[in-house]
């Protein structure tokens, strides 16, 4: 699968117990907004195995690690019991 969204959707549907999801704000150590001298960045505290996998060569990476953003309105819809047209 070349599209990471397809891999994510498949994993959420078929293997939800194997997915690890942590809100970034729980991992955040430092962040800075973009300025003229550098891009914006965030510094995260992650397990050592994840850090090794991210810095290793592409052929040694075993897991797909994604940064996913869920818009507030989608999150609020997920908590609602009202089904809107198109959500069936």
C-alpha angle with apex 47: 42 to 48, nearest 5 degrees? 105
Per the structure, how many domains does the chain have? 1
Task: Answer yes or no: is 84 within a domain.
Answer: no
CA 23/CA 67 separation, integer angstroms: 10
Report yes or no on 35 lying in a domain. yes
Is the separation of the CB atoms in 42 and 35 below 8 Å? no
- Whether residue 32 has pLDDT greater than 70: yes
Residue 82, pLDDT > 80, answer: no
88, part of any domain: no
CA pair distance 1, 24, nearest whole angstrom: 25
Q: What is the pLDDT of residues 44-65, one digit of tens each?
A: 999 888 888 787 676 766 788 8
> Is the model's pTM score more than 0.85?
no
Domain holding 61, by residue range, is 4-78
Residue 85 lies in a domain: no
Residue 87 belongs to a domain: no
């Amino acid at each position: 699968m070349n599209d990471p969204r397809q891999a994510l959707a498949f994993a959420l549907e078929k293997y939800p117990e194997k997915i690890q999801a942590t809100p970034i704000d729980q991992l955040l150590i430092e962040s800075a907004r973009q300025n003229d001298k550098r891009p914006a960045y965030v510094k995260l505290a992650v397990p050592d195995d994840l850090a090794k996998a991210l810095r290793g060569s592409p052929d040694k990476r075993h897991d797909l690690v994604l940064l996913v953003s869920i818009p507030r309105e989608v999150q609020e819809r997920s908590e609602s019991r009202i089904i809107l047209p198109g959500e069936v």
